[in-house]
């Protein structure tokens, strides 16, 4: 695994084999998700190597594709899940249910039913609660097993206010209530850990605030008795450089700062990287279908849309773009948008791209995390295919949806 851990810390679009990408677009059509499973394993190994004494779990919500989950498990990882579907998909990928951690956020009844039924057969499953209500609902189901308490540290970090979970009342038990809740848990359950997650997309420059939240988690662990806990889970949120001039996360500095922030603990440290593991392992290939000269810009229309990748519309996120077909053409500033009927369906404004022409294939980078996971059928568009690369081979791991797939649930209901 050491050769994977020593892989480059950042992967730019220029680092991909452009000829191969163009051949994939030709063979499998566009828009197309491409996931490099070798890169997934390398990213996991590199992160784990930076925290040799910690238990590193993969946050499944970043990408729950079976091939990705299998790659994480092959790399020696375990998995943290935030919903019943992620539990099921992790098990389908080969995960041991006894090693899964389920982090419940306002869980629907079917989530808790599934988790407690699973725990009845696999008592090693850990359920993380962020509300006293959830404890009551678990007790109603006869559950008395492993519980971790999610703390709201009151400090949010990350690339956007919509991912700064550490200061959002939706997430976790209010900080000063944790000791009383811990005592309540110990009465009827097996309290095994504390959990917190400050935010997402943190790079080296944002580590100070991130570690202030972690420091509070360490303090609380010692207040409730860290010698009685199995673990203290400080979540994930570790970012990747989306912009071409952003530096990658300094893992050595991150490890040192996290260790210093958490302080001395008897309990094991846990971390949950998601984005870091899969973001730069994935991209989208899309074909140019329209070139339109407008008074203030040149509009380049592509067949990917916000239904394919919603992050730019939802978070204003920057994703690098490259003309795969002709990377050496002279660059020109263009606006790149998709076929959805809203002004939000734009991937880039005034972005320098090697002059696109109709029929060119464009790559949209860093799409491996929260890309396919947030894809939709908006405008009744079938979701794209996904191809996995591994050991020099490629294979379809998610077929392209058809219009029949889009309308199937209606037809099967008799509509």
Crossing angle between the packed helical segments 178-188 and 207-224, to the nearest 10 degrees = 50
Nearest to 229 by CA among 186, 173, 166: 186
Is 395 annotated to bind a ligand? Reply is no
- H or E stretch at 385: strand 385-390
Q: Encode burial over 177-207: b for 16+ CB neighbours within 10 A, e otherwise.
A: ebeebbebbeeebebbbbbbbbbbbbbbebb
pLDDT attached to residue 157? 52
Q: Output the CATH code of domain 96-273.
A: 3.20.20.10
Residues in the chain: 415
Q: Concatenate the DSSP letters of all residues of 333-402 into one string.
A: EEEEE-SSSSTT-EEEEEEEEE---TT-EEEE-S-SSSSGGG---GGGPPPPEEEEEETTEEEEEEPPP-
Query: Is residue 184 within 8 Å of 217, Cβ to Cβ?
Result: no
Is 225 annotated to bind a ligand? Reply is no
pLDDT tens digit at each of 415 positions of the chain: 446 667 888 999 999 999 999 999 999 999 999 999 999 999 999 999 999 999 999 999 999 999 999 999 999 999 999 999 999 999 999 999 999 999 988 999 999 999 999 999 999 999 999 999 999 999 999 999 999 999 998 764 544 343 344 455 677 899 999 999 999 999 999 999 999 987 768 888 888 888 988 999 999 999 999 999 999 999 998 999 999 999 999 999 999 999 999 999 999 999 999 999 999 999 999 999 999 999 889 999 999 999 999 999 999 999 999 999 999 999 999 999 999 999 999 999 999 999 999 999 999 999 999 999 999 999 999 999 999 999 999 999 999 999 999 999 998 887 6
Q: Encode burial over 89-107: b for 16+ CB neighbours within 10 A, e otherwise.
A: bbbebebebebbbbbbbeb
- H or E stretch at 185: helix 178-188
Question: What's this model's pTM, rounded to 2 decimal places?
Answer: 0.94
Per the residue annotation, which of 341, 343, 409, 412 is the catalytic one?
A: 341
The pairing of strands 146-152 and 190-195 is parallel
* Domain range summary for the chain, segments of one domain joined by +: 96-273, 280-411
Is 259 annotated to bind a ligand? Reply is no
Crossing angle between the packed helical segments 178-188 and 132-140, to the nearest 10 degrees = 10
Is 275 annotated to bind a ligand? Reply is yes
pLDDT attached to residue 415? 67
pLDDT attached to residue 166? 42
Is 311 annotated to bind a ligand? Reply is yes
Q: Catalytic: 211?
A: no
Query: Is residue 194 within 8 Å of 149, Cβ to Cβ?
Result: yes
Is 28 annotated to bind a ligand? Reply is no
The pair of structure tokens assigned to 389 is: 């690369």
Is 274 annotated to bind a ligand? Reply is yes
Q: Output the CATH code of domain 280-411.
A: 2.40.37.10
pLDDT attached to residue 86? 98
Unique residue bearing structure tokens 């190597």 = 49
């Amino acid at each position: 695994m050491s050769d994977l851990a020593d892989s480059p810390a950042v992967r730019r679009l220029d680092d991909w084999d452009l000829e191969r990408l163009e051949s994939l677009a030709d063979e499998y059509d566009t828009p197309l998700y491409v996931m490099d499973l070798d890169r997934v394993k390398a990213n996991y190994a590199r992160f784990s190597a930076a925290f040799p004494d910690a238990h590193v779990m993969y946050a499944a919500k970043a990408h729950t594709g079976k091939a990705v989950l299998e790659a994480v498990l092959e790399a020696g990882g375990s998995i943290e899940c935030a919903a019943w579907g992620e539990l099921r998909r992790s098990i389908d990928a080969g995960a041991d249910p006894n090693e899964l951690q389920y982090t419940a956020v306002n869980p629907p009844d079917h989530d808790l039913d599934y988790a407690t039924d699973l725990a009845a057969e696999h008592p090693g499953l850990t359920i993380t609660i962020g509300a006293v209500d959830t404890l009551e609902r678990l007790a109603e189901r006869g559950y008395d097993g492993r519980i971790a308490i999610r703390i709201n540290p009151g400090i949010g970090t990350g690339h956007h206010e919509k991912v700064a979970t550490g200061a959002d009342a939706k997430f976790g038990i209010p900080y000063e209530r944790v000791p009383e809740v811990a005592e309540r848990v110990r009465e009827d359950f097996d309290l095994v850990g504390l959990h917190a997650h400050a935010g997402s997309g943190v790079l080296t420059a944002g580590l100070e605030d991130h570690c202030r939240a972690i420091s509070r988690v360490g303090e609380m662990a010692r207040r409730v008795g860290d010698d009685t806990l199995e673990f203290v889970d400080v979540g994930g949120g570790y970012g990747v450089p989306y912009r071409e001039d952003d530096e990658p996360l300094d893992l050595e500095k991150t490890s040192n700062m996290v260790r210093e922030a958490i302080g001395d603990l008897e309990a094991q440290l846990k971390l949950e990287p998601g984005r870091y593991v899969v973001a730069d392992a994935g991209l989208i290939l899309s074909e140019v279908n329209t070139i339109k000269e407008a008074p203030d810009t040149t509009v380049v229309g592509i067949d990917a849309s916000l239904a394919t990748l919603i992050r730019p519309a939802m978070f204003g996120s920057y994703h690098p773009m490259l003309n795969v077909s002709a990377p050496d053409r002279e660059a020109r500033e263009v606006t790149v948008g998709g076929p959805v009927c809203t002004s939000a369906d734009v991937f880039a404004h005034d972005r320098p791209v090697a002059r696109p022409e109709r029929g060119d294939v464009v790559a949209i980078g860093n799409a491996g995390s929260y890309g396919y996971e947030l894809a939709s059928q908006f405008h009744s568009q079938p979701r794209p295919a996904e191809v996995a690369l591994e050991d020099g081979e490629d294979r379809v791991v998610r077929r392209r949806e058809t219009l029949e797939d889009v309308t199937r649930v209606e037809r099967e209901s008799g509509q």
